[in-house]
Amino acid sequence: EADIYQTPRYLVIGTGKKITLECSQTMGHDKMYWYQQDPGMELHLIHYSYGVNSTEKGDLSSESTVSRIRTEHFPLTLESARPSHTSQYLCASSDTTGTGTDTQYFGPGTRLTVL
């Protein structure tokens, strides 16, 4: 069982609200990731981080932002939520093995619904 946590697990909010999805891991992993997943569809990478003060945008354009002030913490923020942001958001982390076979450990996800 991976030690990576996400809160809240479920969130229903109105349009225009600012939200922050929390992600924490206790494994000391350097790399962390945020994915977006719609039902029956593949995961899409929206943000990743190599380490503290390092953040990059992923393959899928997202209006969200992230920060990495501490190794263990990688929160995702939406300044003004819209119905199009309704989705499942998965956080993951991996260690740097240097072999190209890093395994990503996933959190349980946050199911976001914007009304």
Partner 1 sequence: KNQVEQSPQSLIILEGKNCTLQCNYTVSPFSNLRWYKQDTGRGPVSLTIMTFSENTKSNGRYTATLDADTKQSSLHITASQLSDSASYICVVSDRGSTLGRLYFGRGTQLTVWP
DSSP for 32-87? EEEEEE-TTS--EEEEEEEETTEEEE-SS--S-EE--SBTTB--EEESS--GGG-E
Task: Rank residues 2 and 13 by Cβ distance to partner 1 and give the closer one.
Answer: 2
Write down the least CB distance from residue 79 to partner 1, Å.
25
Contact indicator for 112, 11 with CB cutoff of 8 Å: yes
Nearest residue to 24 (alpha-carbon basis) of 115, 105, 111, 99: 105
User: What's the CA gap between 83 and 87, in Å, rounded?
Assistant: 9
- Given the rule CB under 8 A, which of 12-20, 39-47, 67-75, 79-87 is the region that contacts partner 1? 39-47
- Given the rule CB under 8 A, which of 60-68, 69-77, 79-87, 99-107 is the region that contacts partner 1? 99-107
User: Per rule CB under 8 A, is residue 101 in the interface with partner 1?
Assistant: yes
Write down the least CB distance from residue 18 to partner 1, Å.
25
- Given the rule CB under 8 A, which of 12-20, 37-45, 68-76, 79-87 is the region that contacts partner 1? 37-45
User: What's the CA gap between 47 and 52, in Å, rounded?
Assistant: 14
Q: Which residues lie near partner 1 (CB under 8 A)?
A: 2, 4, 31, 40-45, 48, 90-92, 100-109, 111
